């Protein structure tokens, strides 16, 4: 936010009528966005909150029924399992995508030949939709159609690969598919940031005899922190919206072992015709979002301030 | 064989400093192995699109084509029966283009000009506006589906591609504004100042100074928007009219496992046809993507 | 037949024209929202479109791919935005729920003119006319409690007659396992799990089925019989191959028809798929009603139907009457159901040779089970209880199948799941 104040010279000139009108132009330009996103965010979320305390089932009913739907939610195993799964998946997904992405970016930063080709290869999964990602990985991971059948056809009859059919491990299948989808994107973001790192600092480090690992840890990683926060926001956004991927990959199963909150919300709102319950679940998701999001925003703010101060 | 399992192993292999050649070999080996892993799902679909369906069902979904056929592609493009009309994915493909291109361009343009207004001009509540826009990025689509239905109906845009595009423009504006704002905030203020001293107004400054400096972020934003609008499914089936629907609706119809005998052969070809536009954009724009991000899009 | 249909349609349309005053000169047209987007289902619905056009209507459809929820999402979005579809494929208690919103069209005049009440299976009348008001037209009757058996697997254990009780079934299955055949083919999605389980429950006792899956009686849900049903399910899970989770419903069908697996419990839409794949009754597969410990004939009934929402455009109003009337013609009921594996919802339609032997059997068993009052509405296929209870029970059943939960815990969990939804 430190970059926001306008050039002081302009302020001094803002006396004439024309200048004052000119000053309004950015406001006018932003107005449509403010109105539409205001409608989109506050009115839609507000509508949801209203529904969640109403008696709506099949269709919206605008009355008041209290917070019963909020409480009852936590007795529903599909919801509680979903929340736990999201936390588990979210952490693994964000950490692994970041680790793999950063690792790839570091490798790619070694003046690699055919960089364009390799980068395109690592990046393409993000262009593939979640539905296709899920379906394809389901083909590969399913024992009777995928890897297991393939290896057995090659002659290893005892080969078993039941990651996706075992309720204890199915979540890792979701993580693999999701990390596959996102880590190239993380790589590109980090790679871009690495290219922006001050080369003199790196050289100075090398002259001091620091090893590559040390240089990465001490000089480079700290200076790509702002990018890491953007990465975090984008991954977090993906994690919370996890829906199509799981539906195509595991159908939420085996059992309900890979069910997610967004699936529950959709299920309640549409399949089950429980609008108030679905809306309550959605509100819980938003609350969770705020809880997770606030520290991230705070961190972003701190980082930005530090950079601003340093610059 | 997960990516994660490879990491400690590879780290150990990578010698530090001393043996340079060994280091290069290890580097390329690692990169190639990872690249192969990343390519595997694509390879599986490409191969399946060239296989005869019975072979796929009999052997496994992973396999080399024993009999190569290109028929799947033709069937998927113009013959496969989707939603009770045997038109292939062709009409859906064009419907998608018709909806995605304007939605992408408009939301990108709005995002760029918003970003400019937010960063380079004195604005009350600029920070608040920015935070709100960021929240918009996080709203799960299931939550806003019904409010959108009501809104579109009030606007008389129910069941039309225009309505669908409008939804994507408004939601996309949150993303594009976020991207562009983060890029433009690093643009030197001096440039803008100089233009203003020369008497240039908002639009003139935007057109003469900001736009020429923004191709990287424009490309990044276009890639992002295009990919996500193109791949979106839930809104596509809910808001589009029955006879003119985006390609994701057709894909789901071809690949959903709840009806008929599953046709993995041309199902795979259809998946690839649907994936071509975003892939092409990524490959063509990939270079700019990195350059765009380098210039501060994400800071 | 066609001649008869046409004249009947003529009188019906005339009757409706009287009811809908001002509709004179309207061009009947419709747009049906449904989820039969591909394969045999799409072909079956195409038949409806052709007949509708032959009867003088303008046919349009909106087929929604993917899960049923996508169709419902579209329906809800359309209704909320004030433009409900003229016709939509809906079933079971949902018909009643939507009828209660007051947005559905009343078909009583047409039903009376065509005498639906006399020809539609009694079990279905209460579903199609939930508050004494016809709001839906039934297209077919699907049987859920089918036991499909592989002919070669039966040969392998030297049996010709399919088992009629669960004990006998268990004996057959155990012998198949010894022969290296997978005794039970199974798909791994919640609705497939629930399909198998409701078949078991009906086989254990029809009273248990009615108390638990229709009346949601808490004592029945956690009672001894329910525990016994879960015990039987546990036994059968042991006979499944380990790769079933996530599998669709067609793959197990192929496993059974090709002799890789012995039995498969699934609804009769399987017939459509087996016909398409070229499997032959008697050579590749056998069929029978699932075992009933009581010895009485059993029948778990499922029906697809079309619900009509009130319209303001006279063209669409007229189109609804024409569509409902077309659906109820013996002609349509025959052609549609031959393709879909089900039998006509009209009891007065004679099944010809174009129907599969299993379909003939379905009709005979339905009549027998009606005599003994052992016909029940399917829980798994959304015919007996509201969706939220169904989902809750699905969760327990699928969790049971994929974990090592004890039968007692599962029965208790069923009761808890249901109570939480009240």
CATH number at residue A80: 1.10.3720.10
Answer whether B256 sits within 8 Å of C42, measured CB to CB: no
The tens-digit pLDDT sequence of chain C (422 residues) is 344 444 444 445 444 444 444 445 678 999 999 888 766 777 788 888 999 999 999 998 888 877 777 888 888 888 888 888 999 998 888 898 899 888 999 999 999 999 999 999 888 898 999 888 999 999 999 999 999 999 999 999 999 999 999 999 999 999 999 999 999 999 888 899 999 999 999 999 999 999 999 999 999 999 999 999 999 999 999 999 988 887 778 889 989 999 999 999 999 988 888 887 889 999 999 999 999 999 999 999 999 999 999 998 899 999 999 999 999 999 999 988 988 889 999 988 889 999 999 999 999 999 999 999 999 999 999 899 988 899 889 989 999 998 899 999 999 999 998 988 77
Task: Enumerate the residues of chain C whose CB falls inside 8 A of the CB of residue B56.
Answer: none
Residue range B90-297 forms a domain whose CATH class is mainly alpha
Answer whether C97 sits within 8 Å of A58, measured CB to CB: yes
CB interface of A with B, residues 186-215, below 8 Å: 188-189, 191-193, 195-196, 211-213
If you average pLDDT over every residue of chain A, what do you get?
82
Domain count of chain A?
Answer: 1
Q: Can you tell me the distance from the alpha carbon of B202 to that of B117, in angstroms, rounded to the nearest whole number?
A: 8
CB pairs under 8 A between A and C: 106
C87: DSSP letter = E
Answer whether C36 sits within 8 Å of B242, measured CB to CB: no
Please report where in the chains the tokens 């327990």 appear, as a residue.
C396
Fold match between domain C2-142+303-355 and domain C146-297+386-421 = yes
Mutation target to probe the C interface, by most C beta carbons within 10 A, among A253, A262, A263 is: A253
DSSP bridge partners of B16 = none
Q: How confident is the model at residue B256 (pLDDT cuts 50, 70, 90)?
A: low
Task: Enumerate the residues of chain C whose CB falls inside 8 A of the CB of residue A256.
Answer: 395, 398-399
**B196 Cα to chain A: minimum distance (Å):** 8
Task: For chain C, give every domain's residue range.
Answer: 2-142+303-355, 146-297+386-421
Residue B4 has pLDDT above 50, yes or no: no
Q: How confident is the model at residue A304 (pLDDT cuts 50, 70, 90)?
A: low
ipTM (interface pTM): 0.81
Mutation target to probe the C interface, by most C beta carbons within 10 A, among B147, B235, B259, B264 is: B259
* Burial class for C82, CB neighbours closer than 10 Å (0-12, 13-18, 19+): exposed
Answer whether B298 sits within 8 Å of A196, measured CB to CB: no
Answer whether C243 sits within 8 Å of A78, measured CB to CB: no
CB interface of C with A, residues 184-243, below 8 Å: 188-190, 241-243
Task: Enumerate the residues of chain B whose CB falls inside 8 A of the CB of residue C63.
Answer: 83-84, 242, 253
Task: For chain B, give every domain's residue range.
Answer: 3-79, 90-297
Three-class secondary structure of residue C33 per DSSP: strand
- Which of A90-99, A181-190, B254-263, C349-358 is predicted with the least confidence, judged by mean pLDDT? B254-263
**B253 Cα to chain A: minimum distance (Å):** 12
Show Cβ contacts of residue B32 under 8 Å, excluding neighbours closer than 6 positions. none
Mean pLDDT: which of A203-207, A239-243, B57-61, B125-129 is highest?
Answer: A239-243
Residue B66 has pLDDT above 60, yes or no: yes
Name which residue leads in pLDDT, B206 or B260. Answer: B206
For C176-210, letters b (16+ CB in 10 Å) and e give bbeeebbbbbbbbbbbbbbbbbbbbbbbbbbebbb
CB interface of B with C, residues 227-256, below 8 Å: 233-234, 237-239, 242-243, 249-250, 252-254, 256
Mutation target to probe the C interface, by most C beta carbons within 10 A, among A44, A61, A165, A168 is: A165
CATH superfamily, domain at C146-297+386-421: Periplasmic binding protein-like II (3.40.190.10)
Answer whether C67 sits within 8 Å of A247, measured CB to CB: yes
Task: Enumerate the residues of chain B whose CB falls inside 8 A of the CB of residue A205.
Answer: none
- Tell whether B61 lies on the interface with A, counting CB pairs under 8 A: yes
Residue A216 covered by a domain:
yes
Task: Enumerate the residues of chain A whose CB falls inside 8 A of the CB of residue C401.
Answer: 254-255
Mutation target to probe the A interface, by most A beta carbons within 10 A, among C78, C243, C260, C420 is: C243
**A148 Cα to chain C: minimum distance (Å):** 10
**B203 Cα to chain C: minimum distance (Å):** 39
Residue A6 has pLDDT above 90, yes or no: no
DSSP bridge partners of C281 = C285
pLDDT given at position B1 = 35
What is the edge-to-edge ordering of all strands in the sheet holding C142-143? C142-143, C299-302, C375-377
Q: Can you tell me the distance from the alpha carbon of A181 to that of A176, in angstroms, rounded to the nearest whole number?
A: 9
Mutation target to probe the A interface, by most A beta carbons within 10 A, among C76, C245, C386, C417 is: C245
Q: Can you tell me the distance from the alpha carbon of C393 to that of C396, in angstroms, rounded to the nearest whole number?
A: 5
| Cα C368 to Cα B7, B104, C210, C365, distances in angstroms | 66, 62, 18, 5
pLDDT given at position C112 = 92
Domain residue limits at A303: 53-310
User: Neighbouring chains of A at 3+ CB pairs within 8 Å?
Assistant: B, C
Show Cβ contacts of residue A132 under 8 Å, excluding neighbours closer than 6 positions. A248, B45, B231, B251, B271, B274, B275
Task: Enumerate the residues of chain C whose CB falls inside 8 A of the CB of residue A144.
Answer: 241, 243, 247, 251
Answer whether A144 sits within 8 Å of C387, measured CB to CB: no
Which of B252, B254, B261 has the CB atom closest to C273's CB atom? B261
pLDDT given at position B84 = 63
Q: How confident is the model at residue A297 (pLDDT cuts 50, 70, 90)?
A: confident
Q: How confident is the model at residue B283 (pLDDT cuts 50, 70, 90)?
A: confident
Chain-centroid distance of CA B119 in Å reads 26
pLDDT given at position C391 = 87
CATH 3.40.190.10 fits C2-142+303-355, yes or no: yes
Residue B132 has pLDDT above 60, yes or no: yes
> By CA distance, what is B84's nearest residue in C?
C42
| Cα A237 to Cα A80, A137, A301, B116, C184, distances in angstroms | 20, 22, 18, 24, 42
The whole-model pTM stands at: 0.81
Of all residues in chain B, the percent with pLDDT exceeding 90 is 15
- Tell whether A162 lies on the interface with C, counting CB pairs under 8 A: yes
- Tell whether C368 lies on the interface with A, counting CB pairs under 8 A: no
Q: What is the pLDDT of residues C289-342, one digit of tens each?
A: 999 999 999 999 999 999 999 998 899 999 999 999 999 999 999 988 988 889
For A62-87, letters b (16+ CB in 10 Å) and e give eeeeeeebbebbeebbbbbbbbebbe
Which has the closest alpha carbon to C36: C73, C71, C75, C87?
C71
Answer whether B261 sits within 8 Å of C61, measured CB to CB: no
- Tell whether A150 lies on the interface with B, counting CB pairs under 8 A: yes
**A270 Cα to chain B: minimum distance (Å):** 9
Task: Enumerate the residues of chain B whose CB falls inside 8 A of the CB of residue A48.
Answer: 143, 147
Of all residues in chain B, the percent with pLDDT exceeding 70 is 85
> By CA distance, what is C79's nearest residue in A?
A59
Residue A14 has pLDDT above 70, yes or no: no
Chain-centroid distance of CA A4 in Å reads 27
pLDDT given at position B209 = 84
């Amino acid at each position: 936010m430190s970059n926001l104040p306008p050039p002081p010279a302009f302020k001094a000139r803002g006396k004439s009528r024309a200048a004052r009108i000119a000053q309004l132009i950015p406001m006018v330009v932003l107005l449509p966005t403010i109105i539409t996103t205001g409608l989109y965010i506050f009115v839609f979320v507000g509508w949801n909150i209203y529904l969640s305390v109403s008696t709506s089932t099949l269709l919206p009913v605008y009355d008041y029924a209290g917070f019963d739907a909020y409480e009852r939610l936590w007795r529903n195993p599909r919801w509680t399992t979903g929340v736990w799964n999201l936390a588990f998946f979210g952490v693994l997904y964000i950490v692994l995508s970041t680790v793999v992405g950063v690792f790839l970016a570091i490798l790619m930063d070694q003046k690699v030949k055919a960089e364009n080709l390799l980068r395109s290869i690592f990046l393409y999964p993000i262009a593939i939709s979640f539905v296709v990602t899920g379906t394809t990985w389901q083909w590969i991971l399913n024992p009777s159609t995928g890897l297991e059948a393939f290896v057995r056809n090659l002659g290893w009859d005892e080969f078993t690969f039941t990651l996706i059919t075992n309720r204890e491990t199915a979540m890792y299948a979701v993580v693999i598919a999701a990390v596959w989808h996102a880590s190239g994107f993380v790589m590109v973001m980090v790679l871009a940031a690495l290219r922006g790192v001050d080369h003199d600092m790196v050289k100075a480090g090398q002259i001091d005899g620091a090893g590559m690992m040390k240089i990465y840890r001490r000089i480079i990683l700290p200076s790509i922190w702002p990018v890491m926060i953007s990465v975090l926001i984008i991954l977090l956004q993906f994690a919370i919206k996890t829906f199509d991927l799981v539906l195509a990959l595991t159908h939420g199963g085996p059992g309900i072992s890979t069910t997610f909150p967004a699936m529950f919300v959709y299920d309640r709102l549409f399949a089950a015709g429980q609008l108030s319950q679905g809306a309550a679940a959605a509100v819980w998701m938003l609350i969770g979002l705020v809880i997770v999001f606030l520290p991230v925003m705070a961190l972003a703010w701190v980082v930005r301030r530090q950079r601003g101060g340093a610059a | 064989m997960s990516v994660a399992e490879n990491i400690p192993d590879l780290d150990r292999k990578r010698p530090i400093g001393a043996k340079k050649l060994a280091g290069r070999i290890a580097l390329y080996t690692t990169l190639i192995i990872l690249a192969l892993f990343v390519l595997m799902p694509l390879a599986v679909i490409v191969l399946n699109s060239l296989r005869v369906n019975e072979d796929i069902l009999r052997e496994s979904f992973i396999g080399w084509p024993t009999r190569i056929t290109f028929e799947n592609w033709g069937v998927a493009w113009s013959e496969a029966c989707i939603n009770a009309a045997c038109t292939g994915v062709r009409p859906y493909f064009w419907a998608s283009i018709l909806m995605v291109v304007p939605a992408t361009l408009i939301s990108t343009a709005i995002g760029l000009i918003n970003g400019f207004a937010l960063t380079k001009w004195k604005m009350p509540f600029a920070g608040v506006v920015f935070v709100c826009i960021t929240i918009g990025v996080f709203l799960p689509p299931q939550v806003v589906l019904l409010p959108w239905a009501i809104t579109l109906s009030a606007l008389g845009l129910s069941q039309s591609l225009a309505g669908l595009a409008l939804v994507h423009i408004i939601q996309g504006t949150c993303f594009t504004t976020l991207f562009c704002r983060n890029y433009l905030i690093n643009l030197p203020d001096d440039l803008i100042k100089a233009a203003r001293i020369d008497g240039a107004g908002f639009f003139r400054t935007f057109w003469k100074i900001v736009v020429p400096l923004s191709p990287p972020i424009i490309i990044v934003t276009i890639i992002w928007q295009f990919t996500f609008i193109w791949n979106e499914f839930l809104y596509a089936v809910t808001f589009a009219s029955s006879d003119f629907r985006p390609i994701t609706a057709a894909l789901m119809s071809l690949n959903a496992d709840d009806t008929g005998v599953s046709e993995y052969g041309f199902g795979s070809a259809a998946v690839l046809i649907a994936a071509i536009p975003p892939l092409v954009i990524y490959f063509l724009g990939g270079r700019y993507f990195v350059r765009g991000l380098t210039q501060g899009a994400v800071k | 037949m066609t001649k008869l249909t046409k004249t009947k349609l003529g009188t019906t349309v005339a009757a409706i024209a009287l009811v809908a005053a001002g509709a004179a000169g309207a061009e009947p047209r419709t747009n049906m929202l449904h989820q039969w987007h591909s394969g045999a289902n799409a072909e079956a619905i195409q038949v409806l479109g052709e007949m509708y056009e032959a009867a003088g209507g303008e046919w349009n459809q909106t087929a929604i791919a993917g899960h049923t929820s996508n169709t419902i999402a579209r329906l809800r979005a359309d209704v909320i935005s004030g433009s409900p579809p003229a016709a939509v494929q809906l079933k079971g208690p949902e018909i009643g729920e939507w009828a209660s919103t007051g947005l559905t069209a009343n078909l009583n005049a047409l039903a009376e003119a065509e005498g639906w009440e006399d020809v539609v299976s009694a079990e279905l009348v209460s579903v199609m006319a939930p508050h004494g008001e016809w709001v839906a037209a039934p297209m077919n009757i699907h049987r859920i409690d089918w036991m499909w058996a592989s002919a070669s697997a039966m040969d392998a254990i030297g049996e010709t007659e399919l088992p009629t009780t669960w004990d006998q079934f268990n004996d057959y299955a155990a012998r198949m396992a010894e022969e290296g055949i997978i005794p039970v083919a199974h798909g791994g999605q919640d609705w497939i799990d629930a399909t198998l389980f409701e078949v078991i429950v009906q086989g254990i006792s029809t009273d248990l089925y009615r108390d638990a899956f229709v009346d949601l009686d808490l004592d029945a849900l956690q009672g001894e019989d329910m525990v016994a049903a879960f015990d039987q399910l546990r036994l059968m899970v042991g006979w499944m191959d380990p790769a079933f989770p996530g599998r669709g419903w067609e793959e197990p069908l192929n496993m059974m028809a090709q002799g890789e697996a012995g039995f498969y419990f699934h609804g009769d839409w399987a017939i459509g798929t087996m016909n398409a794949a070229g499997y032959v009754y008697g050579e590749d597969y056998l069929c029978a009603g699932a075992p009933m410990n009581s010895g009485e004939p059993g029948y778990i009934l499922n029906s697809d139907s079309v619900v009509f929402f009130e319209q303001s455009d006279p063209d669409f109003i007229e189109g609804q009457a024409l569509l409902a009337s077309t659906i109820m013609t013996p002609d349509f009921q025959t052609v549609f159901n031959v393709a879909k594996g089900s039998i006509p919802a009209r009891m007065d339609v004679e099944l010809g040779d174009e129907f599969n032997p299993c379909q003939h059997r379905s009709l005979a068993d339905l009549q027998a089970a009606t005599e003994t009052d052992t016909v029940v509405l399917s829980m798994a296929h959304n015919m007996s209880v509201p969706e939220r209870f169904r989902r809750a029970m699905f969760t327990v059943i699928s969790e049971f199948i994929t974990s090592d939960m004890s039968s007692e815990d599962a029965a208790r969990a069923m009761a808890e799941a249901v109570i939480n939804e009240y």
